[in-house]
């Protein structure tokens, strides 16, 4: 423990851990990694679903197909 004295008397000292000012980027960015992996899996599944849709339902109207394309477009723009 490191003691930082604000004033001259001993009643106003603050105890801080030694590494209170040294934060590693891994402590900050580490929890983001599982979220990024899960988001990539969901985006991949949405892309596969769109490909299967266009392969199986070729006779659907252009309005429904454009809805699927716009949904996939919004998904891809939100990931970047």
pLDDT value, residue 70: 95
| In a domain? residue 58 | yes
pLDDT value, residue 78: 79
Q: State the burial class of residue 72 (Cβ atoms within 10 Å of its Cβ: 0-12, 13-18, 19+).
A: middle
| In a domain? residue 32 | yes
- Whether the predicted pLDDT of 22 surpasses 80: no
pTM, two decimal places: 0.60
Mean pLDDT score of the chain: 79
| In a domain? residue 5 | no
Please give the residue range of the domain that contains residue 70. 24-79
Q: How many domains are there within the chain? A: 1
| In a domain? residue 57 | yes
pLDDT value, residue 45: 94
| In a domain? residue 74 | yes
pLDDT value, residue 9: 52
pLDDT value, residue 11: 52
Contact 79, 43 (CB under 8 A): yes
| In a domain? residue 11 | no
| In a domain? residue 12 | no
| In a domain? residue 52 | yes
Q: Give mean pLDDT, residues 28-52.
A: 89
């Amino acid at each position: 423990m490191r003691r930082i004295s604000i004033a001259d008397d001993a009643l106003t000292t603050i105890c801080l851990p030694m590494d209170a000012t040294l934060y590693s980027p891994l402590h900050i960015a580490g929890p983001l990694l599982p979220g990024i992996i899960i988001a990539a899996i969901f985006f991949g599944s949405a892309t596969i679903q769109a490909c299967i849709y266009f392969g199986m339902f070729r006779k659907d109207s252009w309005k429904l197909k454009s809805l699927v394309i716009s949904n996939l477009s919004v998904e891809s723009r939100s990931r970047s």
